[in-house]
Structure 1
């Protein structure tokens, strides 16, 4: 067995923020840390209800609409008015010009297409990813491998911290509205044929079409290519495309302790060990999604790997032996095990590739719905479900709500219609409540002999199965992730059914700035934690808490006053005009 090279020794260089994972969650955090005036993630009612935001009173960037290039909605950074006369005059002049006072401590937001300038006061960020030294590489590769033409999420779910409707604006600005797929029967109503023809006629004349606010009520899903290009524009806008910012290394361990024999012995820091070297960081963000442990109904031996694989391990499709049989016009049979959207795409790929018959086994019912969680959790007006979730008395109660909301894997109505077409053509057989009871692989013929439960499947060629695809998802268990072994031993926390009980700021502990985002933060973010919305909301919480971790937290008194702004006034509680002193009015 080859001996792995030992990691290079650690240095005294300490990174401000080390992000593990260059997928949507990692990109959401990195871009949010570069954005001083994020779009409104939470409504006024949510600000009033959830006390975790109170600790940051006076630090939230207020959004002020501005007319910008390409009619995009941006915002300027909010700076509190100083009590000094000089500051008052400066503030008054800025107000007279219609702009708030400027603060040069961090890059100001810029229109789409323009980059943020780097600043020494913003945290330096390093990203580690096991796939490639590039943003969204694993995400894009997975969508390409499974030939998924469009996302399942609606348009307002993305990782851009600057504009909630940024993807819609990007599609309009780049004249790519045709890549928006209408989610029929969800909300709103479809555009009539007459109106569609009129819109196409207008589009042929010019691409600068004003966005009708009524269109925002309709739900669309972007194409895979459009979403990839939009993420690339976010990377460019926030200056996250610098060389050596993303390193392709796999993290093996994370430790948090003081460094003996270092110039930084006074403060505990993270030591992140990869397969090649060590890194030190003040804060670490774990943005790996569900993790890398695949759900497999049984272990796959090296011999069996020639005739079976997990959907995440697909490199070429179909397999070599199936491709040869298709080319020779021989009968081919493929089994797909699963019940989610990935399994449906694998089925469709196999039929379109020329497989004679695909046998689709699902452990339960084949559930059909637009999103992987209920529409009440996915809509723009989902505050009620979130309020109930965040008001839960215990994590056990939240777990039950997560299970109810997700309710296992599901496929979209669009894919269900495609599958029904394959069934009608006798190219597909769907068997619900069916599992594989036993299996035997013949390496010489590259075929399987299977028995099923229940056993009576009409026309099933039990001894002539050419390949098995296991689209059975990925396991999310913080107690079993190898890179969290030291954290679980040195700084143990409660883990319920694989989900860590992190703080409201998504920190491992109050005094341990290891932030968890994505699916493993579901006990704080809710059932949508694994979606793009969870990535953006999680990044918002991380960014707020990061100011305190890196020593940039404002000093406020214990009565809720900070920078002269009352917590009650800031959160919109009570009568905000009650804070006005009549005796101090200027006449």
Structure 2
């Protein structure tokens, strides 16, 4: 039996695991259960696919406990131009290698179990996690740290025209990027913008069109930095209505926004004739023979060789395919939006903790990003 079971091996789960291994438990006392073979698989796959070169968050947001660990790592390993811009956004390759090195030092791979979670119960004070083939993993405490990018968000018009060859979603692991032809990318946020920049730099791609529903929303971060500390959180924590907390979170998040640095890079590609912007609503799209016909709501039609959706993930609760029954069985408290109501230590029920999206009603708008992972790790470790 383990002292800690962490369900989810993305950035959130690995950050919590790093903190626990560093301060509280040995690697023999902790297990991480994830459906992929290695830590942070989804993060590393998607960021590599879209060609992201640096993070949106600043240098103090990473997996290590010491906030200046990444700065020291850049100096020790002699990285050239390790941080970019006025906000010192770290290079992605450096951030990933720093994360892997930190996890290797802690022996996190020895704590890894590649499995699919199917259920969770508490029996005689012990948590039992059901995995495939009717097996059970037992532990004293459990952290739910499942990610939110498992279910790609398809627009309503795309439900009947999914085509692995011509129309697909960037969050689908089976999606491979086109190497030639005319490409249309649907989306106005960071993922779409990074992908547009990457593909427009490929000489074999004839043209790239970034199709978005709204003008660009230029924001430095995905929420105001005031949400990292007492500036906004003091008032937020005094709100006892969870429907109001949900409203505040939705209002605070800059969904579909991009940084000014990335916007400047896109404009450079436009001036070079490698990228085109188009604003409007898609009514429907059809994959016919070797091309895609995109019909706009204003009557215009756009033809392309492929259409890539960068429309984010479904707004659903992580792990809901098995978590719903757990909530009902254990009578776990939930807000009107269906998300957990937890203590300040992120404890949902005795010995059951949450991180990431599941913790956002307590942590606030930053809960899903790296800063939120650090906050969750700190709160959980303090209660260990």
Q: CA deviation at 1:429?
A: 2.5
User: 2:241 & 2:46 partners in 1: Cα distance?
Assistant: 36
Q: Map 1:136-215 onto structure 2 (within 5 A).
A: 136-161=40-65, 163-176=66-79, 178-183=81-86
Say whether residues 1:250 and 2:116 are aligned partners.
Answer: yes
Q: Structure 2: which 5+ residue stretches go unaligned?
A: none
Would you say the 8 A contact 2:148–2:318 is kept in 1? no
Would you say the 8 A contact 1:336–1:358 is kept in 2? yes
SS at 1:538 equivalent: helix
User: 1:316 & 1:491 partners in 2: Cα distance?
Assistant: 38
- Structure 2 match to 1:574: none
User: 1:316 & 1:303 partners in 2: Cα distance?
Assistant: 11
Q: Find the partner of 2:285 among 439, 444, 447.
A: 439
Would you say the 8 A contact 1:249–1:276 is kept in 2? no
Q: CA deviation at 1:541?
A: 1.3
Say whether residues 1:34 and 2:21 are aligned partners.
Answer: yes
Q: Structure 1: which 5+ residue stretches go unaligned?
A: 1-13, 37-105, 108-117, 184-218, 259-265, 327-331, 548-587
Aligned residues: 381
Q: Map 1:49-128 onto structure 2 (within 5 A).
A: 118=26, 124-128=29-33
- Structure 2 match to 1:294: 152
Q: Find the partner of 1:223 among 91, 98, 105.
A: 91
User: 1:496 & 1:250 partners in 2: Cα distance?
Assistant: 28
Q: CA deviation at 1:498?
A: 4.8
User: 1:362 & 1:176 partners in 2: Cα distance?
Assistant: 36
Q: CA deviation at 1:333?
A: 2.5
Would you say the 8 A contact 2:357–2:367 is kept in 1? yes
User: 2:199 & 2:343 partners in 1: Cα distance?
Assistant: 44
SS at 1:178 equivalent: coil
User: 2:268 & 2:40 partners in 1: Cα distance?
Assistant: 33
Would you say the 8 A contact 1:17–1:283 is kept in 2? yes
Structure 1 segments, 4+ long, off by >4 Å, are 299-303, 314-317
Q: Structure 2 vs 1, CA of residues 291 and 361 (structure 1 numbering), >3 Å: closer, same or farther?
A: closer
Q: What root-mean-square deviation, in Å, do the aligned CA atoms of Structure 1 and Structure 2 show?
A: 2.4
How big is each residue's C-alpha offset from its partner over 1:341-397, in whole Å with a ceiling of 9 and x where there is no partner?
Answer: 00011211221223323222222331111211124335xxx4211212222232222
User: 1:276 & 1:178 partners in 2: Cα distance?
Assistant: 50
User: 1:364 & 1:274 partners in 2: Cα distance?
Assistant: 44
User: 1:315 & 1:271 partners in 2: Cα distance?
Assistant: 28
Say whether residues 1:334 and 2:162 are aligned partners.
Answer: no
Q: Map 1:298-313 onto structure 2 (within 5 A).
A: 298=156, 300=159, 304-313=163-172
SS at 1:477 equivalent: coil
Q: Find the partner of 1:486 among 319, 325, 332.
A: 325
Would you say the 8 A contact 1:477–1:498 is kept in 2? no
How big is each residue's C-alpha offset from its partner over 1:229-258, in whole Å with a ceiling of 9 and x where there is no partner?
Answer: 21122213323243xx2121122222x232
SS at 2:183 equivalent: strand
Would you say the 8 A contact 1:252–1:275 is kept in 2? no
Q: Map 1:145-544 onto structure 2 (within 5 A).
A: 145-161=49-65, 163-176=66-79, 178-183=81-86, 219-242=87-110, 245-254=111-120, 256-258=121-123, 266-274=124-132, 277-290=135-148, 292-298=150-156, 300=159, 304-313=163-172, 317-319=176-178, 323=179, 326=180, 332-353=181-202, 354-377=204-227, 382-432=229-279, 434-442=280-288, 445-456=289-300, 462=302, 464-478=303-317, 481-492=320-331, 493-509=333-349, 511=350, 513-544=351-382
Q: CA deviation at 1:149?
A: 1.0
More strand by share: 2
Larger radius of gyration: 1
